[in-house]
Amino acid sequence: MEKDVTIYDIARLLQLSPATVSRALNDHPAINSNTKHMIASKAKEMGYRSNMFASNLRRQRTSTIGVIVPRLDSYFMSTVLAGMEKVANDANYNLIISQSLESVKKEVANAKTMFDSRVDGLLVSLAADTENLDHFNTFFQKGIPMILFDRIMPQKNCTNIVIDNVKAGYDATSHLIEQGCRRIMHMTGNIKRNVYEDRLKGYKLALMDHGLTVDDALVQLTNLTRQDGLQMADHIKHMASPPDGLFVANDFCAVSCMGALKANGFSIPGDIAVVGFNNDPVSQVIEPNLTTVHYPGQEMGEIAAQSLINHLNGLLRINTTNTILLNYELVVRASSLRTPPAESR
């Protein structure tokens, strides 16, 4: 392997001191422009690369932020990452992004990699089976700031950024009840995670507040995949008393289930009114278009990154607030609308 070119190599060829070369490459005002140009040209010709890692170690900063997410292949997470990338770029920070693939074992390995990479701070959305934050203790002990977003866990060392998933689940279920649904099924994910536990809680509260019975047989715990949607449609087809409403905790699974229900002869929303979650673009591809909850992914990413960077730059102490709550919106479309909108008067 060819040896990297150093400032000492450039200095020797130009018969200058290494200090002069270093100052010129860092645009020091004490070096005149002609000398800077000569040194920069020679550095480029020789293939010199600045050793940012060594420089950052001297400053005790790497200008990098670690990001750990459950999966990279979801629309919601891609919008979150886009928000983070925008803010980080504007602030001259780099992101190191990894995915846990919904596995705490992988999340532990990711956390170690981030720590060994000397990230200045960490942004994390937890894996499906994470039960505690012990694998982040090295960050807490070293005072490296961490923000949890979307999938969170109570922790005094972290700020959490979320929406009110209980109220969002309540609003989605109440909407179905207002459309005349009385037997509403809820498809959700691993309830170890706050997002699914809270949406389920909101679903149950809405039923109780409207005088409806909570039937545990209508609560289906799945992985919310396309295949789960297909299997749920087949399950509904064979039910003696099928639901007349369906609230699914993500759009991708909801759309998969809707397509299979239609193929099995169900009318949507006539037989089953459907509401999803996340406002994924796929919600407007299915016919009828899917009613859903708009989850502000890009805003969440921007706020998470900006809060962390502000903390790193001494402009904000993130441990002064435990939770940042973002707004959401129930987006009503044809998949759930049994009652035509009132005519304007």
| Cα–Cα distance for residue pair 222/200, rounded to 1 Å | 13
Residues 170 and 152 in one domain: no
Structure tokens at 261: 């229900």
Residues 196 and 291 in one domain: yes
Q: What is the mean pLDDT of residues 341-345?
A: 41
pTM of the model: 0.79
Residue 22 has pLDDT above 90, yes or no: no
Residues 156 and 213 in one domain: no
Q: Which of 183, 155, 202, 189 is CA-nearest to residue 328?
A: 202
| Cα–Cα distance for residue pair 276/283, rounded to 1 Å | 8
Q: Is residue 338 part of a domain?
A: no
Other C-beta atoms closer than 10 Å to the C-beta of 327 total 9
Residues 260 and 310 in one domain: no
| Cα–Cα distance for residue pair 338/268, rounded to 1 Å | 9
Range of the domain at 121: 62-163+297-326
Residues 204 and 263 in one domain: yes
Domain of 31: which CATH number? Answer: 1.10.260.40
Residues 157 and 304 in one domain: yes
Output the pLDDT for position 43: 87
Output the pLDDT for position 51: 61
Q: Is residue 227 part of a domain?
A: yes
Residues 14 and 80 in one domain: no
- The better pLDDT of the pair 330, 313 is held by 330
Q: Is residue 56 part of a domain?
A: no
Contacts of 6 (CB under 8 A, 6+ apart): 48
Q: Taking the CA of residue 156 as centre, how many other CA atoms within 13 Å lie in the half-sphere pointing to its CB?
A: 1
Q: Map residue 70 onto helix, strand or coil.
A: coil
Contacts of 299 (CB under 8 A, 6+ apart): 83, 326
Residues 170 and 292 in one domain: yes
Output the pLDDT for position 236: 96
Work out the pLDDT band at 73, boundaries 50, 70, 90: confident
pLDDT (tens digit per residue) in 26-68: 888 888 989 999 998 988 888 887 665 555 555 567 889 999 9
- The better pLDDT of the pair 339, 203 is held by 203
Output the pLDDT for position 317: 74
Work out the pLDDT band at 269, boundaries 50, 70, 90: very high
Output the pLDDT for position 23: 86
Q: Is residue 125 part of a domain?
A: yes
| Cα–Cα distance for residue pair 31/25, rounded to 1 Å | 10
Residues 223 and 258 in one domain: yes
Residues 181 and 283 in one domain: yes
Residues 283 and 241 in one domain: yes
